[in-house]
Amino acid sequence: MKGLEAKKGIFIIEKRRDPRYKVELPIDYSPINEKENYRGTIANANEGGILVYLPDRLEIGGLFRIKIFFPMDTVLSTIQAIAKVVWVDSAIQKPAGEYRYGLQLQSFLKGDLNKFRKLLKEVGHAHN
């Protein structure tokens, strides 16, 4: 057909089992073998992992204790877990000097997985 040109595009196939929900929550983190906490921000989350912006350079494979702060039933609540750095995007750095990381959630403090699921469910309803 004259005048029609083939268009090329890129298809991105989502490989995640669970949808990610956009959130902006504060997070404290510390390497497993350290006591000092550092502060960062969660940008999105699902049951298997979180996307975070942190001020420090971290190594892939590193394990961290994390504490997520969020409002629940008019009080500030926390979720504590162990997370593993599974990817780093060192090319993208926010103006505040933060680096972007993908953290895989390894385990939760007793009862906190249910709190995390409830949080995701509430965030999911807010997006619909």
Is residue 6 over pLDDT 80? no
- By residue count, the chain amounts to 128
Mean pLDDT of the chain: 84
Structure pTM?
0.80
Least confident of 4-18, 42-56, 107-121: 4-18
* CATH code, 21-127: 2.40.10.220
- 124: enclosing H helix or E strand: helix 112-127
Q: Which is more confidently placed, 44 or 4? A: 44
- 76: enclosing H helix or E strand: strand 75-93
pLDDT band at 95 (very low <50, low <70, confident <90, very high): low
Q: Which is more confidently placed, 14 or 70? A: 70
